[in-house]
Amino acid sequence: MAAPQERPDRVQAAAETAAALAREAAREHGPRDGAAREQAKAQTAPAEMDCKRGARYLLASAVMLRKPSDPDSAAVARLPIGAEVEGGCAENGWVRVWAKDHSGLIGWVRSDLMSMRRPTLEALLDESRALPAADREGRLRIAERALALAPFDERAHRLRIDALREVGERAALVQAERALAELRRPQVRRDKDEPRLIFAYDGEVLSPLATLTERGLQDGPYSAADGGLPVGDPRRAPAYFRPGRVYHYYRGGADAGLLRVLGKTEPSCESDVALVQRVGADGAQPLLAGIATNFALRPSAKAAIAEPDAGERQLLERLLREALSKQGLSKRKTDAALDPARDAAGSGPQYAAALWQARGPRVLIASVRAYFSEEEDRDDTHAQAYALLIVELDRNGKHRVVHREAEVGEGGESSHSARYLDHLDLDGDGRNELIFMQYGYESWGYQVWRRGKSEWKAVANGGGGGC
Task: List the chain pLDDT tens, one digit each, 467 residues.
Answer: 333 333 233 333 334 333 433 333 343 334 434 444 344 434 434 445 567 778 999 999 999 999 888 888 888 888 999 999 998 788 889 999 988 878 788 899 999 999 999 999 999 999 999 999 999 999 999 999 999 999 999 999 999 999 999 999 999 999 999 999 999 999 999 999 999 999 999 999 999 999 999 999 999 988 766 667 777 777 778 899 999 999 999 999 999 999 999 988 876 667 889 999 999 777 778 899 999 999 999 987 788 888 999 999 999 999 999 999 999 998 989 998 998 887 655 678 999 999 888 777 789 999 999 888 766 656 667 788 999 999 998 878 789 999 999 999 877 777 789 999 999 999 999 999 999 999 988 889 999 999 988 889 999 999 888 87
**What is the DSSP-derived secondary structure letter of residue 380?**
-
Angle between helices 136-149 and 121-130 (to 10 degrees): 180
In a domain, 141, yes or no: yes
End-of-domain residue from the set 90, 115, 140: 115
Q: How many domains does the chain have?
A: 4
Number of helical (H) and strand (E) elements in the chain, helices listed first: 8, 23
Residues 413 and 314 in one domain: yes
In degrees, rounded to 5, the angle at the alpha carbon of residue 58 between the alpha carbons of residues 52 and 59 is 120
In a domain, 466, yes or no: no
In a domain, 223, yes or no: yes
Contact 448, 467 (CB under 8 A): no
Contact 272, 222 (CB under 8 A): yes
Calpha distance 290→424 (Å, rounded): 9
In degrees, rounded to 5, the angle at the alpha carbon of residue 302 between the alpha carbons of residues 297 and 304 is 95
pTM: 0.79
End-of-domain residue from the set 260, 293, 326: 293
Residues 135 and 108 in one domain: no
Sign of the Cα pseudo-torsion (289, 290, 293, 296, in order): negative
Structural domain for 142, as ranges: 121-184
Q: Please state the φ and ψ torsions of residue 141, each to the nearest 5 degrees.
A: -60, -45
